[in-house]
Homo-oligomer: A and B are copies of this chain.
Amino acid sequence: MVLARKDPVRIKDLAEHFGVSPSTVSRALSPKGRSLISADLAARIRAKAEEMGYVGDVYATGLRTGRTRTVGVIIPDIQNPIFPPIVRGIQNRMDEAGLVTLIAYSDNRIDLARREVERLLGRRVDGLIYASAFLEDPVIDFCREQGVSLVLLNRSVRGARGLYHEVLNDEAEGIRQTVAHLASLGHRRIVHFNGPVDVLQGLERREALRRYVREYGLEAEECECTAFSREEGARCARQFLSARPSATAIVAGNDLIAIGAVQVFKEAGLRVPDQVSVVGFNGMPFSEMFDPPLTTVAIPHVQLGARAAEILLGEMQGESEGPLTVKLEPVLVARRSSGPAPGGAVDDPPRATETSLKPSIPSS
């Protein structure tokens, strides 16, 4: 079916219909301008506008005001489970403010991020929210050169602090809660399957882990994942199995790394948490349904998005006092993937024997 697109009803059409000026129609249709004309005329114009299918025209408004009431959001991928709630948080706030949100994807590639920023600027967005995937990110400098209002979201970038608005999760606090949780369960030796350290989140979580492991009197080894992915979690888990370390707990860089590790441990017959505890990071949806339900650090994703939108709106209205760095506090959610260290108690630090890490027949 090829329907010819009807010409949109314009303010001019309504003005002709009523024999009034276009500015009178504008006033009738605007909540603020309505009181400037007679209530009866305003009501009749609004009723007719609805009847004729007048739906406003942001382009005409944009030409008058120089603003498009559009913002752009660049994230790595909407299929990464942490981003749908972040995006929803942004859009809820932007919708309230009457702005439209354009979502674009970098697929964790700097060249694509740059291309998407250019496309969004070509659409004359009034501002940008950018979840960079990189520790060093020239796209941010490009945004600055273009003079667009910018808020960095979820992931920070080296050198950005104090220059750009940032809305972040408190990574160190999440790791602190993780280490405290494992220490309280009697674990003394842990392995950090840390995320890539060319992403500031990966770096910050690793630094926090090293610090809190010392503070809580534990010992830690590290296996560096080159991506926040199940595949990399699986690779570190296989390495863990072949090295047979005496560690009794894994701190995973994020939930996907944890999932990949748990899968390998299950296939090898290593019982989680009886033989090894696993803690994730992100609080991804449905992680309570996993086998075993995943202990993880829940990040307030919807609020992260909403705060970033709030700050961008303030910046676009010139209300901002200076670059803000907002850190929201995550909460560790203890589930069944973490449990007491094998054979031990807090006051009697255990060492898991090598045999406890050997593959064995699953109990069920």
Contacts and interface: CB of A to CB of B under 8 A. Distances in A.
Interface of A: 1-6, 8, 53, 55-59, 62-63, 68, 77-79, 81, 83-85, 87-88, 91, 100-103, 105, 118-119, 121-124, 144-149, 163-165, 259, 262-263, 284-286, 289-293, 315, 318, 320, 322-323, 363-364
A320 B84 contact: no
Choose among A8, A91, A123 the residue with the greatest number of B CB atoms under 10 Å from its CB: A123
Contacts of A291: 289-293
Given A79-B84, A84-B84, A124 B8 contact: yes
Given A263-B289, A289-B263, A291-B291, A55 B2 contact: no
A59 B163 contact: no
A118 B49 CA distance: 13
A58 B286 contact: no
B259 A289 contact: yes
18 contacts: A2-B318, A5-B147, A53-B145, A55-B118, A55-B121, A55-B122, A57-B122, A58-B123, A58-B124, A59-B59, A59-B68, A77-B88, A78-B88, A79-B88, A83-B84, A290-B290, A291-B291, A291-B293
Nearest to A286: B286
Contacts of A53: 145-146
A149 B290 contact: no
Contact of A2 (B56, B78, B101, B315): B315
Contacts of A83: 84
Contact of A102 (B100, B290, B318): B100
A163 B3 CA distance: 11
A85 B91 contact: no
A218 B165 CA distance: 62
Nearest to A142: B53
Contacts of A148: 3, 5
Contact of A6 (B119, B122, B147): B147
Given A6-B146, A77-B88, A100-B119, A1 B320 contact: yes
Contact of A105 (B91, B165, B293): B91
Contacts of A149: 3, 5
A163 B101 CA distance: 31
Contacts of A81: 81, 84, 285-286
B68 A78 contact: no
Contacts of A5: 147-149
A148 to B, nearest CB: 6
Given A3-B148, A58-B122, A290-B291, 14 more contacts: A1-B164, A2-B315, A3-B147, A8-B121, A59-B123, A79-B84, A81-B285, A81-B286, A83-B84, A91-B105, A100-B123, A289-B291, A291-B292, A291-B293
Given A290-B289, A291-B291, A293-B291, A124 B85 contact: no
A320 B285 contact: no
A263 to B, nearest CB: 7
A124 B123 CA distance: 13
Contacts of A91: 103, 105
Contacts of A364: 363-364
A290 B289 CA distance: 5
Given A58-B122, A102-B100, A289-B290, A163 B1 contact: yes
Nearest to A262: B289
B122 A4 contact: no
